[in-house]
Structure 1
Amino acid sequence: MIAKPTRRAVAALLLALPLAQTHAQEFTATTDPARAQVTLPEPARPDLPSLILIGDSTVRNGRDDGQGKGPEGQWGWGNPIATYFDLTKINVVNRAVGGLSSRTYRTSGHWGRTKPFIKKGDWVVMQFGHNDASPVNDNSRARGVLRGTGPEKEEITNLLTGKPETVYTYGGYLRGYIAEIRAAGATPVICSPIIRKRWEADGVKVTRAGGNFAAWAAEVARQEKVAFIDLNEWGAQRYEALGKAEVEKLFPADTPQETVHTNWLGAAVNAQLVIAGLIQNKVLPDNVYLRRFAPDGSDDRPVVDARKVKVEAPRDPKLPSLVMIGDSTVRSGGQGGAYGWGERIGALFDTQRINIVNDAIGGRSSRTFFTEGRWASVLDQLKAGDTLLIQFGHNDGARIGDPAGKNRGSVPGIGPETIEDTRPDGTKEMVQSFGWYLARYINDAKAKGANVVVLSPIPHKDRWQANVPRDFENYAAWGEQVARANGAQFIDLTMRVTEAYRSIGAEKVASFFADARTHTNDTGAVFNATQVVEGLKRLPGSPLQAFLKPAAP
């Protein structure tokens, strides 16, 4: 039977990403932002190059604290974007101010206070436009600009300040920033304003900004030969791919009428688009990114072709083998300093008596490990007396039908439901449930006489603390149910590692990771491998106890 696909949240990991830490950001006045003296962050390490952000509330909202409402408050994309960078190599300095336009960011003095932090080799990303369409002259904000990109200007007596002022076009203000950024030896980048949550009558298409600020931002970037990031168009495409119901989850639930200001999840989506634009324009060096994105929200690195990754063979076919299948948290191969626990578990076994065979491959889900033929190759080598360890789940939550998912998502649950997916070549695939794929692995292996242990996924860097919900709750439950029903054993590795993390504390755990939240470094891999072995020891019958090295005295 073909089940109707459900709309799932963009990526569960986005909700769990840590909030970027910045210096104190307090208002000393609560009047018009153009006149308020706002304490903005400064480069944490002046010796490093800086990515400096300027703009309005869609980049940095209020005091950058979600109005005290946590992730469900209003956030600008300048906050979550810091979580995607290696802050030991680059400063991310969000000096945007809510309520300002390209004009008032300058006339308020905020630009003058930002310029001293811009040095040779830095990058400055600007995103204005949401407030630029306001009145040019009133006694409320007086923040509007002249429309267009030309040399037009208007002399006014500002009703708010009582002072004479020359007002320029939107393009004129952008050109002013570009010139001064370049004069400082830094590189300017222009973003169009983020897309608004406005749907066409069909409820499927998103209304673009049209021929105004988004188009004018693109025009200035083209004329000035500046990198341009089209948050308007790319954002519309992301919203359309997600659908109306999912997009609602990107905005504060207590203000359903809000169309501009996102919650933290929505801010993270926009931050990913900015990352994609920086990568596409080759603005920053590759080594500063912890995570990379394409405009559709997927990791911009292609998933390695499984056919080019040789299946590992047992060292001595006469010996029993411990065989592992899974994703990059089991085997990362040192890419970006990351290692999976499966790459360090061999040190805990007597390899003169048992083969350690790690056939996990990065980027795989329970679905793609099967459909790409990797499982068939592993199965060919399994024999009676071997033990198979299975750990999937990190990539199974990808949304079926969303290109960002790279055809990796499995149907949630353990039932017979299927969903049709379209591959990049246009062919159709009937996607099975997570439980279906696990059951297939278990029963195929048992038919060869192997013992099978299912493990739930290792937890993320930010999902083991006592004050947050447990990680991978569904996948752990599904894994245990399928294991029990099909004669396999089960280890809740998520909670075993979680409890071990809690026993050593946050500072130590932070040192275990090679990226923002998923992949462990060598030390972390050794630690998690130890937890896997402890889990194996506690299984009924301790099936691998005889092959373990004696514990150190």
Structure 2
Amino acid sequence: MRHRPALPARRLWLQTSALWGAGLAGLAAGCSTAKPAAAPTPAAASAAPPAAVNTDPRTPPLTLPEPANPALPSLLLIGDSTVRNGRDDGQRLGPVGQWGWGHVLARYLDATRLNTVNRAIGGLSSRTYRTGGHWARTKAFIKAGDVVLIQFGHNDSGPINDTQRARGTLRGTGPEQETIDNQLTGQRETVLTYGAYLRGYIEEIRALGARPVLCTPIPRKRRDEQGRTERGTAAHAGWATAVARETGVPLIDLDTLVSERYDALGPVVVDMLFPRTTPEERVHPNWAGSALNAQLVLQALRAQQLLPEAAFLPPPAAAPADNNTPAAAPLNPRLPTLFLVGDSTVRSAGQNGHWGWGERLAPWLDAQQIQLANHAIGGRSTRTFLREGRWARVRAQFKPGDVVLIQFGHNDVARVGDPAGKQRGSLPGTGPERQAETLPDGTVEPVQSFGAYLTRYVREALDAGVVPVVLSPIPHKDRWQEGRDFPEHAAWGREVAEREGALFVDLTMRVTARYQQIGAAAVEGLFSDARTHTNDAGAKLNAECVAEILRGLPQALLAPAIKASAG
């Protein structure tokens, strides 16, 4: 597993959070009375207006990250909610909530060599980040050799003076300015152009011996008449590009890079990169969308050599060659993929009359909205699916906007070290414990806990911009009437999902509830063996339960792709 930075925010993904970008937005700016003034220089833009004190009483206290190790160089980020959203915890919705790309970017950088410090704030503009005092506080952490990424624009187009947010900037990059009596703060303020504020940040960063890097704003989910993503070259993206050219600072043109990726992926996939809210969300990506944006930032940082190579974490190991597994059908890159990984209760191929629910899920899916890739295989556990390179082969096909369902447990219960366990059991729990077991070929495998294997799957899916959904195992035929089956594995799966930011669904109890509805006699006819494997009818019933689960995922993640009935 790759070395990972310690990210306390991972533990916050499913904790309480209120979307308070709107509250922060009410910091300054609006248009009132225009007054002539001298043309501002970059130095003047950097110095005016002074605002170490936040004068908006409605703005809650802010807790922003600081460099974890002041002895290391830092990559600092300033911007709006598309860089750091709200309290940076996905609004308690995990990967389907709103996220900024700065949060995901930290996952790809080595925290032992570089501090990644995301100081962006939702709802702010290039102007109000300064007038609210946030820039003054961020400057205190900038030192020689640091790199500062700047991405503003989404909130700069608002009114420059009103009683709600007052955050807009004047259009363009020129010397124009307007003096107002700010209706929100009650203070007189001289408002500059967007470009002047950017030049001010650049000048001050350079004065501190650090390196400024401009990012154009990520595009909105908005398409022109030809179906192409609308670019911002005529507004803030174009103006940021002009300032970068004028000042000689590096530019990461996210407006172009992201737009090109959106157009290549197509509208069905792009819709999966945003929360499915009402009204439709067009600005703030979910985890998958922010992962896509972060990957593009990462590529630009590397290509332009803006960070030392040692700061980048290595990619995960590639899958070992496997000449015995038939090549899977190529996936359509313009459709999101629903990946399935698991054991024979998910995929049995009809052997001995056994069928898994994954083999009967396709009739519930709208093939115009999503494609199914069932990589489950009989006899595997979390441990052996990884050891045999199967997970790596699935991971190699991931793209942002995909979803992976993970259901293991039936084979993880085998005793480690017992030859009868076929070297597939995992250790109980979710901790870091390891136990050596010698394989038939003589190699020694350090066996990990069930939760440790799940953690790896979840983290690597999230790194790829894929939403992981952990499912507890389907129940045995002889256990569903005795309370609940798989209590430990369900608890461990839930713990990992909540800690790491995945979604968790108790499939065990969902299927149990259906068994209770139809009764013991009917359940008896759903199995093809004594207690574990379902027949075709059982697989169809379980697939229906899974379809109901998918339709009910938060933020209607897959709802448009799930039919109301099979067929």
Bin the TM-score by the shorter chain. 0.5 to 0.7
Q: CA deviation at 1:23?
A: 9.8
* Contiguous gaps of at least 5 residues in structure 2: 28-55, 336-347, 350-371, 378-386, 396-403, 412-420, 435-447, 462-567
Q: CA deviation at 1:43?
A: 1.1
| Contact 1:459 1:497 (8 Å CA) reproduced | no
More relative contact order in 1 or in 2 (CA 8 Å, sep 6+)? 2
Structural mapping, 1:346-495, within 5 Å: 360=321, 455=388, 457-458=390-391, 469-470=405-406
Picking from 245, 254, 259, the partner of 1:236 is: 259
Q: Residue in 1 aligned with 2:529?
A: none
Which of residues 99, 124, 131 is equivalent to 2:148?
124
- The CA deviation at 1:125 is 0.3
Query: Is residue 277 of structure 1 aligned with residue 213 of structure 2?
Result: no
Alignment-mate amino acid for residue 158 of structure 1: N
Q: What CA distance in whole angstroms lies between the structure 2 residues aligned with 1:225 and 1:210?
A: 19
Q: Measure how far apart 1:392 and its partner are.
A: 8.1
How many residues were matched structurally? Answer: 342
Quick check: 1:391–1:455 contact (8 Å CA) kept in 2?
A: no
C-alpha contact (below 8 Å) 2:5/2:111 kept by paired residues? no
1:80 corresponding residue in structure 2: 104
Contact kept, 8 Å, 1:58 with 1:75, in 2: the verdict is: yes
Alpha-carbon distance change, 157 to 55 in structure 1, aligned in 2, over 3 angstroms = same
| Residue equivalent to 1:21 | 8
Distance, in Å, in 1 between the alignment partners of 2:113 and 2:78 is 21
Following superposition, the deviation at residue 138 of structure 1 comes to 1.1
Contact 1:79 1:94 in 2 (8 A): yes
CA deviation digits over 1:219-239, x for unaligned, max 9? Answer: 111111111011111111111
Deviations along 1:200-255, one digit per CA (max 9) or x if unpaired, are 223x3111113110000001111111110111111111111010111100011234
> 1:114-137: CA deviations, max 9, x gaps?
111111111110100000011111
1:294-333 superposed Cα distances (whole Å, 9 cap, x missing partner)? xxxxx9xxxxxxxxxxxxxxxxxxxxxxxxxxx8343xxx
- For the 8 Å contact 2:78–2:119, the answer to whether it is kept is yes
Q: Secondary structure at the match of 1:54?
A: strand
Deviations 1:374-421 (A, max 9, x none): xxxxxxxxxxxxxx766988xx8875589xxxxxxxxxx99xxxxxxx
Q: Judging changes above 3 Å, is the alpha-carbon distance between structure 1 residues 189 and 291 closer, same or farther for their aligned structure 2 residues?
A: farther
Q: In 2, Cα distance between the equivalents of 1:180 and 1:144?
A: 22
Counterpart for residue 500 of structure 1:
426
- Contact (CA 8 Å) 2:119, 2:138: kept in 1 or not? yes
1:38 aligns with 62
Query: CA 1:185/1:471 → structure 2, altered by over 3 Å: closer, same or farther?
Result: farther
> When the two structures are superposed, what TM-score results if normalisation uses the length of structure 2?
0.53
Structure 1 unaligned spans of 5+: 1-16, 293-298, 300-326, 331-359, 361-365, 367-387, 403-412, 415-432, 439-453, 463-467, 477-494, 519-553
Deviation at 1:56, TM superposition (A): 0.4
Q: How does 1:284-295 map to 2 (within 5 A)?
A: 284-290=307-313
- Say if 1:499 and 1:258 are closer, same or farther in 2 by CA, change over 3 A: farther
Name which of 158, 162, 165 aligns with 1:141.
165
> C-alpha separation between the residues in 1 aligned to 2:208 and 2:304?
21
Secondary structure at the counterpart of residue 79 of structure 1: helix
Q: Report the Cα offset of residue 21 of structure 1.
A: 3.3
SS in structure 1 at match of 2:8: coil
CA offsets 1:64-110 (integer angstroms, 9 cap, x no match): 11111111111111111111111111111111000000000000001
Paired with 1:119 and 1:104, the residues of 2 have a C-alpha distance of: 23
1:151 counterpart = 2:175: yes
Q: Which residue of 2 aligns with 1:263?
A: 286
Contact 2:172 2:193 in 1 (8 A): yes
Residues 173 and 195 of structure 2 are in contact (CA less than 8 Å); yes or no, is this contact kept in structure 1?
A: yes
2:214 aligned counterpart, secondary structure: strand
Residues 239-287 of structure 1: per-residue CA shift (max 9 Å, x gap) = 1101011110001123461111111111111111111221222101111
In 1, the alpha carbon distance for the partners of 2:202 and 2:90 equals 30
Task: Summarize the Cα distance change of 1:68–1:172 in structure 2 as closer, same or farther, 3 Å threshold.
Answer: same
1:551 alignment partner in structure 2:
none
Once the two structures are superposed, the pairs formed by residues 288-307 of structure 1 within 5 Å of their partners are 288-290=311-313
Aligned with 1:189 (options 213, 216, 219)? 213
Q: Is the 8 A contact 2:319 2:392 kept in 1?
A: no
CA RMSD of aligned residues (A): 4.3
Contact 2:265 / 2:333 at 8 angstroms: preserved in 1?
no
Alpha-carbon distance in structure 2 between the residues aligned to 1:457 and 1:80: 25
SS of the residue 1:117 aligns to: coil
CA shift in 2, pair 1:63/1:284, >3 Å: same
1:63 is the counterpart of 2:87: yes
Give the match for residue 187 of structure 2. 163
Taking a change above 3 Å as real, the CA distance of residues 90 and 259 of structure 1, as seen in their structure-2 partners, is same
Per the TM alignment, residue 32 of structure 1 is displaced from its structure 2 partner at its CA by: 3.7
- Aligned-partner SS, 2:102: coil
Q: Secondary structure at the match of 1:178?
A: helix
Does 2:75 align with 1:51? Answer: yes
CA distance in 2, matches of 1:169, 1:38: 26
Q: Is the 8 A contact 2:9 2:89 kept in 1?
A: no
Counterpart of 2:122 (choices 62, 85, 98) is 98
CA drift at 1:18: 11
Query: Matched residue of 1:156: which SS?
Result: strand
Query: Cα–Cα, structure 1 residues 31 and 245, in superposed 2: closer, same or farther, change >3 Å?
Result: closer
8 Å CA contact 2:85, 2:98 repeated in 1: yes
Tell me the residue number matched to 1:352. none
Seen in structure 2, the aligned counterparts of structure 1 residues 90 and 392 have a Cα distance that, compared at 3 Å, is farther
CA distance in structure 2 between the partners assigned to 1:497 and 1:78 by the alignment: 41
1:290 CA drift (Å): 1.8
The alpha-carbon deviation at position 49 of structure 1 amounts to: 1.1
Distance 1:78 1:176, change over 3 A: same
Equivalent residue number for residue 110 of structure 1: 134
The change in CA–CA distance for 1:88 and 1:169 in structure 2 (over 3 A counts) is: same
Distance 1:43 1:242 in 2: 36
- Amino acid in the other structure paired with 2:292: V
Aligned to 2:202: 178
What residue identity is the alignment partner of 2:8? Q
